[in-house]
Amino acid sequence: MSAIIFDCDGVLADTEHDGHLPAFNQTFKEFNLPVQWSEADYNEKVQIGGGKERMASILTPNFVQKAGLPSDAEKQSKMLVEWHLRKTDIYKEMVKGGRLPGRPGIARLTKEAIAAGWTLVVASTSAEESVRTVLEFVVGKEQAAHFHVFAGDMVPKKKPAPDIYLLAKERLNLSPQDTLAIEDSHNGLMAAVGAGFRCLVTVSTYSKHEDLSEALLVVSDLGEPNSPMRIIANRSRAKPGDYITLEDVRACIKT
């Protein structure tokens, strides 16, 4: 059966810039941590897969000493879990408050795929709770119920490792010959390709200048009839117009 695997952050919504970054910074503030990430800082942090892993990157010996944090690894691990739980709650509040609108074409393509009987999947390194909140907000609860969600700590290695894709592939018996991944970054693209899937990329705030040469099709977004997308690179059989349709997805898979 044909399938589409969506990433969450940067694909369903531009969550990194408008959601995760301010949620991280608010969390740091609430825990009295002497750090606030700038956009330039976060441009580097998005290369790290997983929220807890990004938070862990601040725990250098100098920072730990300066902030008066425990140096014990077990205590730091528990502390990171607490920080990340609060960050997830802040982020979910932002999504539910309508601060992270879905990216063009997501709800439309989802509706088309459901009607055609396709398998729909989300494969993300973000916390599962956050992913489900974004998914329901972007496509609606009724359509979200059609998705299989693989996210967060379901696998030990985060993107660019292919683990989350391999898990979805195994659990759902997905065939690379009938499946297209939709990602927004080099890390996500490498994860998808590493699992044997063809990939379409919709660039987001932090991925515009990344190497996306492994993608079959690179576009500004999926587009809408009244809001045309921009084609950045096309190495597929698809010949899209103003927006990506299910026929374009089929053409990418068969490339």
Cα–Cα nearest to 126, from 100, 146, 97 = 100
Query: Does 53 score more than 90 pLDDT?
Result: yes
**pLDDT at position 205, please?**
83
Q: Phi first, then psi: what are they for 219, rounded to 5°?
A: -135, 165
Which is catalytic among the residues 7, 14, 163, 184?
7
- What's the mean per-residue pLDDT of the chain? 95
Which architecture, in CATH terms, is 16-96?
Orthogonal Bundle (1.10)
> What pLDDT, on a 0 to 100 scale, did the predictor assign at position 244?
98
The domain made up of 3-14+101-253 is a member of CATH 3.40.50.1000: yes
Q: Say if CB 180 and CB 164 are below 8 A apart.
A: no
Going by pLDDT thresholds of 50, 70 and 90, the confidence category of residue 170 is: very high
99-124 pLDDT, tens digit per residue, is 888 999 999 999 999 999 999 999 99
- Active site (annotated) includes residue 7: yes
CB-based burial, 174-206: b 16+ in 10 Å, e otherwise? bebeebbbbbbbbbbbbbbbbbbbbbbbbbbbb
Residue among 104, 105, 102, 255 nearest 180 (CA): 255
Instruction: Report the Cα 249 to chain-centroid distance in Å.
Output: 19
CA distances from 22 to 15, 75, 102 (A): 10, 25, 18
The structure tokens listed for 63 are: 């920072």
In the chain, domain spans: 3-14+101-253, 16-96
Is the pLDDT confidence value at 248 over 90?
Answer: yes
What pLDDT does 181 receive?
98
pLDDT at 237 over 90: yes
Give residue 220's pLDDT. Answer: 97
Is 221 known to be catalytic? no
Q: In this predicted model, what pLDDT tens digit does every residue of 132-142 receive, in sequence order?
A: 999 999 999 99
